[in-house]
A and B are shown apart, each in its own frame.
Chain A
C-alpha cells in the first residue's frame, strides 16, 4: 500500500477542514424539496410520537402526528398542521414559543429541536405537509440508477447507484486496493480465513480478465463459506448450547448449527431456509434436515429453576420467539408491543399476541424440572451411534425380562435358586432405568419442534401473565403489512413463513440484504440493522437497497447471487485508505468512496491464528468443541455444579463457530472480542478495543501455542537466513513482505530471546510446554523458543486482526 500523504500533510489538511467544516453527512443544508420520510419522519418520531403517535395509551390531546388526517384536523378553529400555512399551524407556534409552559417538546421530556429541525418542519408545512407511508413498509421497487459519467468504473448496478450519489457530493470513487489486500479481504469476508501465500501469489499472477471472478467463485464454493456466514445467522437466531436461565444446563442443538452451515454452503434459497426453520415439521413428509431445522423454534432461553411457574415461563418463551422472529426476518421491533402499542410504528398490542399465537402449537414444558438437574429438554431427535444402539437394545431386553418376571413370578423349570422377590425385581428395574437415562444423556441429539393442539393465546394487558382479562386472539400478522395471504382455517407457522417470504412482504428481503451489505461494507445501507421502522435510519442509498432486495427475491432468494453482486462491484474492490479530506467529509464512510475497515469477529481472530500456524482443524460439524479455558471459570454455575471438560487432540483446534456456547459463561476469549452471549437476537456486534483483548492475544494458551507452532513452520519452511525467515513469516501472516524497519524489530526480538533462552534453557522448556501439540523430535528447541517471540509479536499486531 502506498502512503498518499505524510502525517504532517494530513495534519494541515485536518486543520484546514476544521475551520471550514463541510460535511456531506451532517444534513444541515435546507433541501429544495422536503421529503416526509427522509427529513420529517425522523424528527417527529424522535421527538413527538412518544405522546402523539401510535400508542393509544400515551396519546395526549387526541393528537397523532403520525397520521395526516388527525394532524390536520380542525380543533375549535385550530389545527396542529395547516398545510401550506406554517404560521397558522399550532405545531409551529408550539415549537417556537418562548413560553416554557407551552413549548413542545416539553422541557421535561429531555427532547429539544434544533433550529435546523424547526426550519425543516416549517418549510415542509409551507410546501403542503405531504405525508408518505414509511419507506420500509412499502414494497421495494427498482428505480434505475442515475446516469453516471464514469461508466468504466461502474461495473455493476451496485456501482452505478453509489456513483450517482458520489457525483452529487462532488466526490470521486477511490482507487482499487492492491491485489494482496483484495485476496485477504475476500477471504476473510467470504470464508473467514486468511489466504495462504500461494493463494495470494496465484491471484497476483493470474493474468486472465476474470481472475477476480474466479477467486470469488472459488471462495463462494468453499465449505468454509457456510461456516463464516453461519456465525452471523447464529447471532441472529441466538443459537447456543445451553438454556441460559438459572442452572444454564446443556440442551443440545448442535445439528441445527450444522444445518445452517450446510444450507448456506448448498445455497439453499432463503425462502426455503425460512420455511424449514419456522415450520419444517409442517411440510409434507419432512426430511431429517427439515426436522433439524425446526430447532430454530427451540433456541429461546428456558428454565428449570425451582419455584418457577409453568405458565409464567411459557408466556416468556412465546414472547421471546415473537420478538426474535420479528427481529430476524422483518428487522422490526415488534417486541416493544408486548406491553403496549408500539410508540413509533403502527404495531398494536394485539399484533404482538396475534403474531405469538402462530407458535402456540409448539409442544413444550414451561419449567422442565421433572427429571432432575441433568434431565433432558425434550422433544429431541436422537442420533445414537452403533455402540449406543447395541447398549439400548441390551437395556431394553433386560427391562423386558424383568417386567415379564414381575408379571409371572414363577421359578423357571430346572432352576434351583429361588426366584427374586418382586421388590428385588423392582430395584433391579430402577437400576436399569437409571442406566438407560444415563445412556440417553450421552446420545447425540437435537431439540426440534413438535406440533400439538394450539394453546389459547390471550392479549396480556401490560404483558402480565396473571391477568386473564384480555381477549383471545388467533394467529395473524399486522394489518398494515398487508395481512395474511392464505386460505384455510387457523393460520399456521407455515403460513407465517410463507407470508414472511412472499414477494409482497416489504421487509424480509430488505432486512437480509441490508445485513449482508454490512458484512461486506462495514455499515448497513440503513444503519440500524435491527429496526427498519420509524426509529431506524433513512437509508443512505434507498434505491440501491431496493434494487438489491428485488434482485434477491427475483433471483429466487439466491443468497450467493446477492453476495456475488456485492463483492464483484468496483465499490467493494476500493482501497480502504482515505485521505484526511475524505475522512473528515465522510468519517463513517456512508458514501462508500472507499472500503471500510474493521476488526475481525471474535471467532475469526481465533481461526486466523490457528490457520496461519497450521493448527486449525478443518473438521466440520458435530458436537460443540471445548478448547482450553481458564480453570474455575464455571464455579458460579450450579444445578448441577460442573467442571469444564476440556477436549483433547484435534478438537482443541476447531473453528470458533464450533466452540461450546455456554450462555451464562461464554468462553472468556470470545467475550473479550465482543461475541454475544446469544440470549437475545444480535444483528450487530459492537466492536471494541480493550486491554482484555491484548491479554488474550498475549497470554491465552491457544494463542501462545499457535505462535509456537507457527515458529516451527518458520524454522522448517522459512528458508535458511534470518532475513528469509522473517520475510516468509510476514507473507504467511500478513500476505506481504516486511519493511526494513519491521524486519529489524523482529530480528532484534529474536536475538534477545535467543540469548535469554540459551542462558536459561529451563525457561525455554517451560515456554515450549504450553499447549498439547508436541514439539517434533530433532527440532532445535532453543531456536523454536526464540522464534516464537517473533510469531507472538506478529500475532499481536493490529494488522493481524484487522480486515482492510
Chain B
C-alpha cells in the first residue's frame, strides 16, 4: 500500500472515531452563526505528523537551516589551507592530477597552479584554519565543524545543484527538505514546513530552478515554499484589494460551512482535510506578514546581522531564518547566488563574504544565545568547489568548477563543534582522507534528525526510492 494513503486512511479512521459529538460541519456552522470563530477552537487541522513517527533514532536536531552558497565557493580561499599550492603558484599543474579528468571551462586549456588569494590563520581554542576573508566565521570557529573532504560527481551547476538537493542529477526526485517534511512533518501550524529564501550579490548569478526545492514524486504539499523579496512574500497570500480581513474571514467561514454541508451529503474524507487547509491558509494570511515584520527586533540584533529591514539581502534572510526556526519551520534554505568565480576571484570573494560572512556568524550566535543552536542543524556550503588551477579568460584570475574535493561546514544539532574533518591532497585537488560524498552528507543530516536514511523510502515506479539512493554512510566521527 502507498504509505501516504495508508497513513491518511488511519488518520481518517482515527478522526472519525474521535469526533463523537461534534462533526466538523457543526463546528464550522457554529462559527458562522457567531457562537465561536472557527479560528479560535477550529477543527484541529489534520496535520501531517510524518511517516517516520516515532523517529528511527533519538533526534539531535529538530530543524535545519541550510546556508546554500550557490555557484561553488572556493575551498582554497575559505577553509582548506594549502601552502604547497602557494609554493607552486604560477607553475604547471602536475599532470598526475589532471590526466584523463573531466574539467569544465578549463577543458583543453593550459593548466597552472594558483595559490590562495588570502592568507590563513588559526582561530579559536580549536585552532581551525580559516582564511582572512571570513573574519566573522573565524570568530565562531569553535562552534563549527569544517569538512574538507567533500566530493560530488556533477561538474556543471544545474546538475550539481540537483544532486546536492535531491541525491541524484536526474530531475523529478524530491528535494531533501521535502523528504524531511514527508518523514517528520512540521511543527508549525501556520507557516509552510519548508521555506526557501534567496539573495544575490557577487558575480553574475547562476540561475536556480524550483526543482531544487520541489517535492518530485511526493505530493506537492511537501514542496518548499519560496518566500519572495518582491510582492507577496508567499504567492497569493494577500487578500484581493478592497477586501479586509473580516470580509475574508467571512468568506472562508462561508466556504467552510458550505463544505461541511456538502460533506453531510457526500461523506467525502477529503473535505475534512480541505477545511483544515483553508484554516491554515487563512492563518498564513496573518502569520506571513507577522513573520516578515521585524519592527520589534531590537536594534542591536539588526546591527549584529547587518540589516536594516526587508531588503531581500542575505543578512535579512538570516534574520528571517531565525524567526522561521523559532516558529517551528522544519527546513529553512537560504540561497546566496554569487559564488561562481571564474574570474576576479579575489574581489568577488570579498564581495560575497561582505554579504554573507557577518550575518552567518550572527545567526549562529543568535541561535546559541537563545538556546536553539543545540537542536538546529546549520549547514554552510555550495554545490562544488573550485580548481587549484587558475582560470583567467577575462579580468583578474579565477578558478573553474571542481568536484573532487571541496569544503562545507556544519554546526549545532549534535555536530561536534570546533573540529576539522577530512583532508584533500597537498594541492587541494582530491579529497584523500575521510572522504564525504553527497550521499554521506545526506545520511548524516537525516541521522541527526532521527531518521535512518535507509528506512525513509517512498515507492515510485515500482521501486523504493531514498534521498541517498543506494549509497550513503553516516559520518559518525563528527557527531557529538
State the A residues within 8 Å of B (CB). 1, 3, 5, 7, 10-11, 14-15, 18, 110, 244-248, 301, 303, 305-309, 312, 327, 333, 336, 344, 466, 528, 530-531, 533-536, 576-578, 587-588, 597, 599, 630-633, 635-639, 663-666, 668-669, 671-674, 676-677, 679-680, 682, 686-696, 698-701, 704, 739, 741-742, 745-746, 748-749, 752-753, 756, 760, 762-770, 785, 789, 792-794, 796-799, 802, 804
Contact = CB atoms under 8 A, between A and B. Distances in A.
B46 to A, nearest CB: 10
A594 to B, nearest CB: 12
Contacts of A312: 102
Contact of B171 (A576, A638, A677, A699): A677
Q: Is the interface of A mostly helix, strand, loop or mixed?
A: loop
B87 interface: no
29 contacts: A3-B265, A5-B267, A246-B207, A248-B209, A301-B171, A307-B104, A309-B107, A333-B463, A466-B102, A638-B204, A672-B235, A674-B220, A677-B171, A682-B172, A688-B220, A689-B273, A689-B274, A690-B220, A690-B277, A692-B220, A694-B281, A695-B284, A698-B281, A699-B240, A760-B242, A765-B242, A770-B240, A792-B251, A793-B251
A763 B266 contact: no
Given A10-B267, A749-B251, A699 B239 contact: yes
Contact of B462 (A534, A769, A789): A534
B255 A797 contact: yes
Nearest to A753: B247
Given A691-B277, A742-B261, A798-B274, 13 more contacts: A14-B16, A303-B158, A307-B105, A307-B107, A664-B210, A665-B209, A680-B171, A686-B219, A687-B219, A695-B235, A698-B236, A699-B240, A798-B262
Interface stretch (B119-127, B221-229, B435-443): B221-229
Given A303-B158, A698-B251, A793-B254, A664 B209 contact: yes
B187 to A, nearest CB: 16
B395 interface: no
B218 to A, nearest CB: 7
Contacts of A753: 247, 250
Contacts of B243: 763, 767
Contacts of A244: 171, 209
B369 interface: no
Given A7-B23, A699-B237, A303 B281 contact: no
Given A674-B220, A692-B235, A793 B255 contact: yes
Most buried by A among B214, B234, B251, B252: B251
Given A11-B16, A630-B231, A798 B268 contact: yes
Nearest to B196: A636
B225 A663 contact: no
Contacts of A742: 258, 261
A766 B220 contact: no
Given A308-B156, A531-B462, A695 B237 contact: yes
Given A307-B156, A664-B210, A766 B242 contact: yes
A699 B236 contact: yes
Given A246-B207, A691-B281, A693-B277, A14 B13 contact: yes
B124 to A, nearest CB: 35
B423 interface: no
B206 interface: yes
Interface of B: 5, 9, 13, 16-17, 20, 23, 32, 100, 102, 104-105, 107, 155-159, 170-172, 192, 198, 204-211, 214-215, 217-221, 223, 225, 228-232, 234-244, 247-248, 250-252, 254-255, 257-259, 261-262, 264-268, 270-271, 273-274, 277-278, 280-282, 284-285, 337, 400-401, 454-455, 461-463
Contact of B247 (A597, A666, A695, A789): A789
Contacts of A687: 219
A358 to B, nearest CB: 21
Contact of B242 (A635, A696, A698, A764): A764
A753 B277 CA distance: 24
A578 B267 CA distance: 8
Nearest to B32: A745
B240 A110 contact: no
Contacts of B261: 739, 741-742, 745
A671 B242 contact: no
Nearest to B106: A307
Contact of A672 (B220, B247, B284): B220
Given A577-B266, A679-B172, A767 B17 contact: no
A52 to B, nearest CB: 16
A339 B403 CA distance: 20
A245 B158 contact: yes
B236 A688 contact: no
Contacts of A794: 258
Contacts of B454: 110
Contacts of A695: 234-237, 281, 284-285
A773 to B, nearest CB: 15
Given A698-B281, A798-B262, A804-B266, A533 B13 contact: no
Contacts of A578: 267
Q: Which of B171, B271, B284, B285 has the most A CB atoms < 10 Å from its CB?
A: B171
A680 B207 contact: no
A696 B236 CA distance: 6
B210 A666 contact: yes
Contacts of B211: 664, 677, 679
B397 to A, nearest CB: 17
Contacts of A301: 171
B17 A344 contact: no
B462 A536 contact: yes
Q: What 3 A-B pairs have minimum CB-CB distances, sorted nearest first? A: A535-B462, A307-B104, A632-B230
B172 A797 contact: no
Nearest to A11: B16
Contacts of A309: 102, 104, 107
Contacts of A748: 254
B455 A110 contact: yes
Nearest to B101: A466
A11 to B, nearest CB: 7
Contacts of B104: 306-309
A798 B219 contact: no
Contacts of B278: 691, 694, 796
B259 A798 contact: yes
A756 B244 CA distance: 10
Contacts of A679: 171-172, 211
B277 A689 contact: yes
A301 B172 CA distance: 12
B247 A756 contact: yes
Nearest to B230: A632
A345 to B, nearest CB: 9
Nearest to A683: B461
B219 A674 contact: yes
Nearest to B9: A587
A690 B221 contact: yes
B207 A631 contact: no
Contacts of B204: 638
Contacts of B215: 686
Given A671-B220, A763-B243, A636 B258 contact: no
Contacts of A664: 207-211
